[in-house]
Amino acid sequence: MNIAVVGATGAVGETIVQVLRERKIPAERLGLFASHARNGVLETSSEALEPFDTVFFAGSDEASSQFVPPILERGGVVIDNSSTYRMRADVPLVVPEINAASILPDHRLFPVGNCTAIILCMALAPVRDTVGLKLVNVATYQAVSGAGRGPLEEFDAGKGAFIRNVVPLIGEFGDDGYSGEETKVRDETRKILDLPSLPLYATTVRVPVRTAHSEAVFFETECEAPVEALAQALERAPGVVLHREGVVTPREVEGTDDVHVARLRYAGDDKRHFQMWVVGDQLRKGAATNAVQILELLIARGPR
Ligand SMILES: NC(=O)c1ccc[n+]([C@@H]2O[C@H](COP(=O)([O-])OP(=O)(O)OC[C@H]3O[C@@H](n4cnc5c(N)ncnc54)[C@H](OP(=O)(O)O)[C@@H]3O)[C@@H](O)[C@H]2O)c1
């Protein structure tokens, strides 16, 4: 397998290279690409990508629009962290712990979902599977590295828009008053959980945290349930860690792959109303680790 990473100098691309090494993915060749060449990284072009049968994208939407189609045409596999292809009806949006079965033999394009949506779905899928999910309301506390390497470097230097502030706009507002990020969280959560008309209301907010997104989630279930039943379902879920006591914060989970849930409780007297606090490293499970897990599934399924 010859693997390339487009966007290898970025926040997600660097993490993909690290996770590929950590998980010992057998690559005969690993090519690193960015918008321009420097220090062992090559400039991205369709010709330069030709020797690679498996290409991770962690660049811009423009890079994915331009360079993904030729790779698919020549029979390659693409795992793409941009939002370009996520909502296409003919491609799966795979979170391996939740919907690995959505991969069909002829699929070769695998978008990786929005980081906030992946982290949310990891905590909601066990609820859906236990008592059904009727409605979700989420407010997020998203790390600066979610905006990429440039804003993170500014933040580390004590500069930029995210110092000493909380900004309730990620992306641009649509006509309905929701931001681009909020629309992605709603649409992609519905697709990953296979609940196409799930009512989901998000307020997504950038906060002065380096890495790992936090989410305050209210959800309504289809049936009444004891908190304990949901706690046990979360404890059984692969990739989820439940904290029965205390809290969990982004600084504690930075650099790790699990999604953490704390403060699971009833919201008021209705035994179908719950709240929880969810935290996950968005560069890892929200992006790079999920991407490499998809490749592991493809390796396990064998040659096409
Ligand atoms: N950051 C996150 O937490 C996160 C989570 C999930 C998904 N994503 C998505 O992942 C992608 C990468 O995000 P990021 O945060 O890692 O961004 P980033 O830190 O700004 O890095 C962007 C990378 O893409 C490269 N690039 C930009 N335009 C390119 C082009 N036209 N051709 C080839 N390479 C190009 C850059 O190369 P140069 O260094 O040469 O400019 C850099 O390596 C985005 O689509 C983003 O929405 C990000």
Residues within a 6 A CB radius of ligand 1 = 6-13, 34-36, 44, 58-60, 62-63, 81-82, 115, 145-146, 148-150, 282-283, 286-287
Q: Which two tokens stand for residue 53?
A: 């049968």
Q: Is residue 213 a contact partner of residue 114, using CB atoms and an 8 Å limit? A: no
Residues 6+ away with beta carbon under 8 Å from 58? 5, 6, 7, 8, 10, 12, 13, 16, 81, 82, 287, 288, 291
Output the pLDDT for position 302: 82
CATH class label, 116-282? alpha beta
Q: What ligand 1 atom has the least distance to the C-alpha of 67?
A: 32
Output the pLDDT for position 304: 58
* Site to substitute for ligand 1 among 9, 12, 80, most atoms within 8 A of C-beta: 12
d(CA 170, CA 206): 7
Q: Which active-site residues does the annotation give?
A: 115, 213
* Site to substitute for ligand 1 among 60, 141, 172, 181, most atoms within 8 A of C-beta: 60
Calculate the alpha carbon distances from 255 to 258, 284, 288 in Å: 10, 7, 11
In order along its 304 residues, the chain shows pLDDT tens digits of: 999 999 999 999 999 999 999 999 999 999 999 999 999 999 999 999 999 999 999 999 999 999 999 999 999 999 999 999 999 999 999 999 999 999 999 999 999 999 999 999 999 999 999 999 999 999 999 999 999 999 999 999 999 999 999 999 999 999 999 999 999 999 999 999 999 999 999 999 999 999 999 999 999 999 999 999 999 999 999 999 999 999 999 999 999 999 999 999 999 999 999 999 999 999 999 999 999 999 999 999 887 5
Calculate the alpha carbon distances from 294 to 157, 299, 303 in Å: 35, 9, 15
Calculate the alpha carbon distances from 296 to 164, 293, 303 in Å: 40, 5, 12
- CA 273 – ligand 1 centroid, Å: 38
Output the pLDDT for position 274: 98
Kindly report the pTM of this predicted structure. 0.98
Q: What is the dihedral of CA 216, 218, 222, 228, to 10 degrees?
A: 70
Chosen CATH of 2-112+287-301 out of 3.20.20.140, 3.40.50.720, 3.40.50.2300, 1.10.10.10: 3.40.50.720
The enclosing H or E element of 51 equals none
- CA 112 – ligand 1 centroid, Å: 13
Output the pLDDT for position 301: 86
- CA 207 – ligand 1 centroid, Å: 20
Q: Whose CA is nearest to atom 27 of ligand 1?
A: 59
Q: What ligand 1 atom has the least distance to the C-alpha of 9?
A: 43
The enclosing H or E element of 48 equals helix 46-49
- CA 296 – ligand 1 centroid, Å: 22
- CA 110 – ligand 1 centroid, Å: 17
Domain boundaries, the chain: 2-112+287-301, 116-282
Q: What ligand 1 atom has the least distance to the C-alpha of 150?
A: 20
Output the pLDDT for position 146: 98
Instruction: Provide the CA 111 distance to its chain's centre, in angstroms.
Output: 10
Q: Whose CA is nearest to atom 40 of ligand 1?
A: 35
